[in-house]
Amino acid sequence: MASVTLRQLRYFEALARLRHFGRAAEACAISQPALSVQMKELEALLGAPLVERGAREIRLTRLGEALAPRARDVLRAVDEIEDLARASQRPFAGRLALGVIPTVAPYLLPALMTELARTWPELEVRPRETVTGALVRDLLDGRLDAAIVALPISEPALVETPLLREEFLLVRPQADAGRPVPSADSLREMRLLLLEEGHCFRDQALSFCGMSSGPPRDLMEGSTLATLVQMVAVGIGVTLIPEMAAPVETASAAVSVARLSEPRPTRTIGMVWRRSSPLADQLERIAAQVRRCAPAEAAPA
């Protein structure tokens, strides 16, 4: 009797995650007809349908919903077996999937990628830049080996290693350079420009301003720190940015940068990975490299 294959489980996991045959086929680097054939074969082996096929997206059947987390567990275990073999035979070689949040990636990755390539030339680092929630999901599902995020994450399945600490800086129009620095209470009364929902830096900034229960009505949002700084430059409002971003984002903008009053808001950047990861020893050494590559504006955590 034929058995379910790992290839079929990988294809099904992608389909269950993306809920779309076209996107799942692209993620698996196969054609959509080939994916459909594999899913039909898997359904035939199991004796029941796994998906309900719609015109634009698919839905999982009850069996499909039950199978999806089990498929992820199996695939994660297989990946960890492969990682274990790689770690024992050729440490610091092969693929390393590393996630980084957007408010860190542009200011840390260039130096880090250069340093890792110099130190371990056989290590193939594949960075992924996205928000914290997506990185944590990808870590838990085994699609990432590690991620650089703002701590704490407070996920029991993940190890957290603090790397560096940095302050939040206030960015105002250049005309405000000589004015007193507003307090957190005063910022609540100003037009505050922040990153859109999903970014942890947004939540940290709102918390500092005492707006955790809900942002003000005239809050304006941007998708990147660069966008926020340029909006400040034309007089639309003020914003907060992490210290490591200031030299890059304010260099060519007509803005002034100021440190906030004590107690100054800070964040801790760290590296996280699964507790079960066979690459843990290597990841500890990579974390040490991240510390060495940190921008001068950031202090060791």
In total, how many domains does the chain have? 3
Q: Are residues 258 and 172 in the same domain?
A: yes
Distance CA 6, CA 71 (A): 9
The pLDDT score that the predictor gives to residue 72 is 87
The position carrying tokens 């371990």 is: 120
Question: Of 29, 55, 84, which marks where a domain is finished?
Answer: 84
- Asked whether residue 183 is domain-assigned, the answer is yes
Nearest to 232 by CA among 215, 256, 259, 265: 256
Rounded CA Rg of the chain = 23
Co-location of 52 and 75 in the same domain: yes
Mark whether 177 and 261 lie in a shared domain.
Answer: yes
Choose the final residue of a domain: 84, 103, 118: 84
245 and 170, same structural domain?
A: yes
pLDDT of residue 148: 97
Which domain CATH number covers 46? 1.10.10.10
Query: Residue-wise over 38-58: b if at least 16 C-beta within 10 A, else e?
Result: bbeebbeeeeebbbeeeeeeb
Q: What is the mean pLDDT of each run of 10 residues along the chain (301 residues)?
A: 83 90 89 91 91 82 91 85 73 88 94 94 94 93 93 94 94 89 81 84 79 58 90 91 93 91 89 92 94 81 73
Both 274 and 256 in one domain: the answer is: no
Query: Do 49 and 183 share a domain, yes or no?
Result: no
Q: What is the DSSP string of 175-190?
A: GGTTSPPPPHHHHTTS
State the CATH number of the domain containing residue 125.
3.40.190.10
Q: Tell which of 26, 61, 84 closes a domain.
A: 84
Same domain? For 127 and 199 the reply is no
Inside any domain, residue 291: yes
To the question of pTM greater than 0.95 for the whole model, the response is: no
The four Cα atoms 279, 285, 100, 296 give a dihedral, to 10 degrees, of 180
- Whole-angstrom CA distances from 272 to 73, 144, 152 are 19, 10, 10
Range of the domain at 284: 93-164+268-300
- Whether 1 maps to a domain, the answer reads no
Q: Are 260 and 171 part of one and the same domain?
A: yes
Torsion over CA of 258, 163, 228 and 201, rounded to 10 degrees?
-100
pLDDT value for 215: 54
User: Which pLDDT does position 301 carry in this prediction?
Assistant: 73
119 and 50 fall within a common domain: no
